[in-house]
Amino acid sequence: KNALIVSDFPINTYRTVEEARSNAAKLVEAGAHSVKLEGGLRQADKVKAIVDDGIPVMGHLGMLPQRVKEEGGYKKKGKSDLEIEALLEGALALQEAGCFSIVLESVIPNASRQLTDQLNIPTIGIGCGKGNCDGEIAVITDVTGAYPWFVPPFATQRADLAGQTTEAVKAYLAAMKNR
């Protein structure tokens, strides 16, 4: 009833300011209340344009799933002073451009705490340690065990959806063979 619907921009749908504005409008038209995009400094112009169009934007820093191959895999961010400085520069640019909050994904706890303390907007952590961000996200595929071949070390799997799905399909196939 009072949920905020934040739509993630699909990969390669916000390469230019014009493309970002157009696709943000389409996402809102489809029912989103706001949009989320990955990246810091290089996304600030897009964030500002979307916000200027009246659409709230959530940022996303740290491990960026849409760029995981470019970045050499799933790795913790904020391990060095240089990485923390780059994250902070990106976070401040997103805040200045108008983001209402920023997701920090797989950022080491100390760096997450530093970023949270230096921003005036909420941070929402994914795998950033307990209490280092203003809020926390649990990814549904991690919680449900939908992808057993990849469960992040910080995730708590609460079900075995992949296993249940496999068993259901086997039962269906057996029933079809025995008709």
Residue 105: which of 10, 6, 15, 39 has the closest Cα? 39
Rounded to a whole number, what is the distance in angstroms from the first to the last CA of the chain? 45
CB 35 within 8 A of CB 57: yes
Task: State the Cα–Cα distance between residues 89 and 118, nearest whole angstrom.
Answer: 11
Query: So which residues are the catalytic ones?
Result: 105
Task: State the Cα–Cα distance between residues 179 and 122, nearest whole angstrom.
Answer: 57
Backbone angles phi, psi at 125, to 5 degrees: -95, 145
